[in-house]
Structure 1
């Protein structure tokens, strides 16, 4: 199990990522192999499956981490 905070600009911390993740005290917990659909309306990976550790230039911090 991996963990990430808001300073890490990866899919697991992005509001557009629809993969599995757990949240506890401003930290996201996930498996590196987890995949989820990118729901970014204008990102380069729109509607594609992305790993939790991937990232892109359209990253927006997931609300619970703010």
Structure 2
């Protein structure tokens, strides 16, 4: 389990990752509480697949809009 910043395009900082994580009030830092989580991204992502917190794909989106 690691801490990631919002500038790192990894699953743990993606809006679509449904793994357990703590997120600071500004959504700048993400602390993954587990190594794996399910992707709920759009078509073309790893939707429905269990991914590692440090994985990434071309459908990554920032947590805050």
TM-score over 0.5 (shorter chain): yes
How far does the alpha carbon of each residue in 1:2-56 deviate from its partner, in whole angstroms, 9 at most, with x for none? 111111000000011000111125211115x621111012133111000111000
User: Where in structure 1 are there 5+ consecutive unaligned residues?
Assistant: none
> Which runs of at least 4 in structure 1 moved beyond 6 Å after TM superposition?
none
Partner of 1:3: 3
What TM-score does the superposition give when structure 1 sets the normalisation length? 0.81
Q: How many residues align?
A: 63
Whole-angstrom distance in 2 between the partners of 1:8 and 1:2: 12
Unmatched segments (≥5 aa) in structure 2? none
Is 2:46 the counterpart of 1:45? yes
**Counterpart in 2 of 1:27?**
29
- Aligned match of 2:63: 62
Provide the alpha-carbon RMSD of the alignment: 1.7
More helix by share: 1
